[in-house]
Structure 1
Amino acid sequence: MSAALELFHERGYDATTAAAIAQRAGVTEMTFFRHFPSKDSVLIDDPYDPFIADAIGQQAPGLSPIVAAIRGIADAWVSVPPPVSAEIRERLRIVSRTPSLRGAIAQNSASTEDAITSALIARGVAKTEARVAAGATMGALNAALLEWADGTDPDLATAIDAARRVLQDDPR
């Protein structure tokens, strides 16, 4: 991943090929594609969906779907260590500054939205209500994360908290 990030910074995302990333990393292009299904997956794929779904499932009974979703996400992200936060910021900063990646982030968010929807349904939320809450949560979260990535605040929790405040209509 570091080879890809270096090249994205040097050449820009659109001007960097998978072949160049593989060469910089000292692997074949085939090996690159064994680890990453596409060039954009270097930036947008994340392993957090199972943690998010589990954290949503652990929220107190009786919470509205949107509150359970955003609190679950906040709880899941608390476990992300600071070095990983710096890497997330670097990846998201490239995404936020590359218009061609907007569709890719939306597509990647669909899997997280599905995980949130499933977790809410498991809590007894009707499918339509779960899907709406998941979509609203992901929309707010993506907007907050991309804004955070372009800022200077080192704390990833700032982005999560911004989404939480808006979704919960909580100015604190």
Structure 2
Amino acid sequence: MAKFYDALTDTVREFIAQQQIFFTATAPASGRVNLSPKGLNSFRCLDERTVAYLDLTGSGNETAAHLRENGRITLMFCSFADKPLILRLYGQGRVIRPRDPEWAQFHAHFDALPAERQIIVVDVQTVQTSCGYGVPLYDYVGERETLARWAEKKGEQGIRDYWREKNQRSIDGLPTHILED
């Protein structure tokens, strides 16, 4: 049976801290829904109604485009071990980039990661838990090193060039503003 909360309880925050992977979902008013897995210890609960994750360079930048358009975002965590549970955070998100005045304040919550692109900050409106009985059991083996090697090989300018080529528009043509406001 699903339960709803107005804020992140201590139990919810503890559950989130134990997870190695989470998923983000966003959608434009018209176009494709985006669902992306995230990891690498990039998620933080900042207070009972605010969470953030350090977003790394990827092949697309859908989340930034969708948040710019309408702000809607859902984050999902699943227990793949022990007690089954699915947790969803529904809220309004915004993008903070290294050029933004708030970057240093939010970036201080994270360890540096390769290919940092932006920080997604979410004002949580609703927290939902559900059973997760259908989620399979998996063992966490470790993080992939592929992104770190790719970023090191590209270098800072190479990553900016990649953003220019691959991250400026969503697959539906919405602007991401990765390189400008």
More strand by proportion, 1 or 2? 2
The TM-score normalised by the length of structure 1 is 0.31
Report which structure shows greater RCO (CA 8 Å, sep ≥6).
Answer: 2
The TM-score normalised by the length of structure 2 is 0.30
